[in-house]
Amino acid sequence: MPTEPPAGALAGTRVVEMGQLIAGPFCGQLLGDMGADVVKVESPEVGDPMRLWGVSNADGDSLTWPVIARNKKSITLNLRVQPGQQIAQQLLDQADILIENFRPGTLERWNLSPERLWETNPGLIIVRVTGFGQTGPYAPRAGYGSIGEAMGGLRYLTGEPDRPPARAGISIGDSLAGTYAALGAVAALNARATTGRGQIVDSAIYEAVLAMMEASVTEWDAIGHQRERTGAILPHVAPSNVYPTADASSILIAANQDTVFRRLAAVMGRPELATDDRYASHHARGERQSELDDLIADWSAEHTADVLLDMLHEGGVPAGRVYRSEDMFADEHFAARNAIVRAHNSRGHEFAMQNVAPRLSATPGGVRWTGPELGEHTDDVLASLGYDAAEIERLRDDSVV
């Protein structure tokens, strides 16, 4: 592996990740990005399905795996048999955080219930990521991120108003649950500093999505207002839309605040718009949203994208292109801030990926290596638990690892 950057804020924090797919592993990715020592436990046969999912390169390697499993060590362990469970117990006795995203009750069936784990490691924080949480009538149900997006309210509001609900092009429900799980884990670490005790972090996908739904629930309860799909705009927030250019590009302009609209009007050469009663206030612009969008589109279509952006930025108006991945690689700001980095796996293969967010000034996170080979660190981790080479070989022969 390449030389590691300075230790992150979670350096010295020991994490065992037993999840698979996205929701649990994204939590592990975030903790690993901040410097935690993450040991990923995988099935000896095939490992995490994410090793095979998504777009692949010419060698048949998943291009999702290098990102979701970055900064992690991989060991194989059969958790369905007693010897595997015993090793897991030993590993967790030395851990600060356990991440799992199995159905409720799975850890208990494997003799790894929170109560049992706390007998030997009372400070262990147990992060449990599921579709519907650990309690309630839906808890036993299988739950993917797409279901959580639907039940949490996001899908209903995504897409064009004259079409069925759409989805984002990423697994946002899973990633939100993983993000809240990571926040809960860090909060529990802080609480443990006072109490000395671990606790359960219960992150449900549908609740993580629900948490992002702004005031939609409050609006319904208070006045019976149901938000609807509105495509590229938010109703009564204007102007804020994607506008055409003379070179068939599209520029997003967001000038819905009064002061910013005055700047936009000046850039357009129409300063009188800012004092026109039809457009002078946020409420007035919202009432004439479509009319105002048409007016701005007529103006923007007279200029190329480059000229338009130069005018808007110079005038202090928030604006930008709608980027694809190739645009990000060409952008000088992305380059200046190292928003995209390159890292290697143990075979020396290089992969580009997004950098760590957020940025900490004194203890920054970093991408130390990409997703590991299946079981790449099994021997090293078992040796750290006191197993000698002969014992490890015996475990391998018995399909425990």
Residue 363 lies in a domain: yes
Spatial distance between the Cα atoms of 278 and 56, rounded to a whole number of angstroms: 53
Active site residues: 174
Pair (186, 266) in one structural domain = no
User: Can you give the pLDDT at residue 7?
Assistant: 78
pLDDT at 338 over 60: yes
Spatial distance between the Cα atoms of 346 and 11, rounded to a whole number of angstroms: 21
pLDDT at 376 over 90: yes
- Stretch 278-287: mean pLDDT, rounded? 97
CA distance to 4, 26, 169, per residue, from 65 (Å): 20, 11, 17
Spatial distance between the Cα atoms of 72 and 300, rounded to a whole number of angstroms: 48
Torsion sign across C-alpha atoms 322, 327, 332, 337: positive
Spatial distance between the Cα atoms of 390 and 168, rounded to a whole number of angstroms: 50
Q: What is the pLDDT of residues 139-185, one digit of tens each?
A: 999 999 999 999 999 999 999 999 999 999 999 999 999 999 999 99
Pair (155, 38) in one structural domain = yes
Residue 28 lies in a domain: yes
CA distance to 95, 133, 183, 198, 201, per residue, from 124 (Å): 7, 19, 16, 5, 11
User: Can you give the pLDDT at residue 60?
Assistant: 85
- Stretch 285-296: mean pLDDT, rounded? 97
Work out the pLDDT band at 6, boundaries 50, 70, 90.
Answer: low
Work out the pLDDT band at 2, boundaries 50, 70, 90.
Answer: very low
Torsion sign across C-alpha atoms 214, 220, 225, 231: positive
pLDDT at 231 over 70: yes
In a 3-state reduction of DSSP, which class is residue 204? strand
Show the tokens assigned to 87. 């090793």
Pair (259, 186) in one structural domain = no
Residue 192 lies in a domain: yes
Torsion sign across C-alpha atoms 101, 102, 104, 108: negative
Pair (315, 345) in one structural domain = no
Helix-then-strand count for the chain, H and E? 17, 11
* Residues linked to residue 127 through DSSP beta bridges, in sequence order: 99, 201
Residue 160 lies in a domain: yes
User: Can you give the pLDDT at residue 4?
Assistant: 52
Last residue of a domain, one of 323, 353, 382: 323
Pair (193, 45) in one structural domain = yes
Pair (378, 275) in one structural domain = no
Residue 221 lies in a domain: no
> For residues 369 and 345, is the Cβ–Cβ distance under 8 A?
yes
Spatial distance between the Cα atoms of 355 and 237, rounded to a whole number of angstroms: 32
pLDDT at 16 over 50: yes
In 3D space, the residue among 93, 120, 88, 123 whose CA is nearest the CA of residue 106 turns out to be: 88
Q: What are phi and psi of 193, to 5 degrees?
A: -60, -25
Pair (294, 380) in one structural domain = no
Pair (40, 105) in one structural domain = yes
Spatial distance between the Cα atoms of 207 and 133, rounded to a whole number of angstroms: 8
Work out the pLDDT band at 1, boundaries 50, 70, 90.
Answer: very low
Work out the pLDDT band at 292, boundaries 50, 70, 90.
Answer: very high
- Stretch 112-133: mean pLDDT, rounded? 98
Instruction: Report the CATH number that the domain containing residue 67 is assigned in CATH.
Output: 3.40.50.10540
Instruction: Report the CATH number that the domain containing residue 264 is assigned in CATH.
Output: 3.30.1540.10
Last residue of a domain, one of 323, 357, 385: 323
- Stretch 18-27: mean pLDDT, rounded? 96
Work out the pLDDT band at 120, boundaries 50, 70, 90.
Answer: very high
Q: What is the pLDDT of residues 311-325, one digit of tens each?
A: 999 999 999 999 999
Residue appearing with tokens 């946002």: 172
Residue 4 lies in a domain: no
User: Can you give the pLDDT at residue 61?
Assistant: 87
> For residues 363 and 35, is the Cβ–Cβ distance under 8 A?
yes
Pair (162, 200) in one structural domain = yes
Pair (23, 99) in one structural domain = yes
**Which of 46-60, 83-97, 247-261, 265-279 is predicted least confidently?**
46-60
Pair (34, 99) in one structural domain = yes
CB atoms within 10 A of CB 322: 11
Beta strand pairing call for 240-244 and 250-254: antiparallel
Residue 188 lies in a domain: yes
User: Can you give the pLDDT at residue 209?
Assistant: 98
pLDDT at 64 over 60: yes
**Which of 5-14, 168-177, 217-226 is predicted least confidently?**
5-14
Q: What is the mean pLDDT of the chain?
A: 96
Last residue of a domain, one of 323, 351, 375: 323
Domains in the chain: how many in total? 2
pTM of the full structure:
0.94
- 100 CB-near residues (< 8 Å, 6+ apart): 17, 18, 19, 24, 106, 107, 126, 127, 128, 129
Pair (165, 295) in one structural domain = no
Show the tokens assigned to 257. 């605040």
Residue 226 lies in a domain: no
* Residues linked to residue 76 through DSSP beta bridges, in sequence order: 42
> For residues 133 and 204, is the Cβ–Cβ distance under 8 A?
yes
Instruction: Give me the domain span that covers residue 279.
Output: 240-323
User: Can you give the pLDDT at residue 45?
Assistant: 86
User: Can you give the pLDDT at residue 219?
Assistant: 98
